[in-house]
Amino acid sequence: MFTPKYPPPDTATTPPAPAHAPTPGHTPAVTPPSLAKLPAPAALAPVSNRPTVQLTPGTALALVGGGTAVVLVVGAVLVSMLLAVAITATSVAVCTVVLRSLLHQERKH
C-alpha cells in the first residue's frame, strides 16, 4: 500500500548512431543498413490520442456563467457562516454580562 508505483518504462527505441561520414571523393552507392532502418521523421512525432476541446462563444459564456454562480454560492455560504459566528459571539457576550450582573447583585445583598 505504501510502496511507490512507477509507470512502465518508455518503449520507444532510440535511433542508432549514424555511420561514419564518407571521405571526400568517395560516396557509397548503397545506403548503410543502420540508416535504412530509421523511421520516417513524421513517425517520430508522438501522436496524442486525447480529444481536443474547442471553445465556442456559447461554451465560453456558459463557463463564465457557471463560474460566476459558483463564486456567488460560495460567497453566500461564507458570509452566512461569518454571520452565524458573529451572532453566536454577541449572544455569548450578552449572556456573560447578564450573569455577571446577577452574581454581582447577589454578593451585595
pLDDT digits 0-9 by tens, 36-87 = 555 555 555 566 777 887 889 899 999 999 999 999 999 999 999 999 999 9
Residue 2: pLDDT band with limits 50, 70, 90: confident
- What pLDDT does 29 receive? 59
CA distance 6 to 8: 6
> What are the residue ranges of helices labelled H in the chain?
33-36, 41-44, 57-108
User: What's this model's pTM, rounded to 2 decimal places?
Assistant: 0.44
- Contacts of residue 39, Cβ cutoff 8 Å, sequence gap at least 6: 15
Higher pLDDT, 20 or 55: 55
- What pLDDT does 43 receive? 52
| Cell triple for 73 | 454560492
**Domain chopping of the chain, boundaries:** 75-109
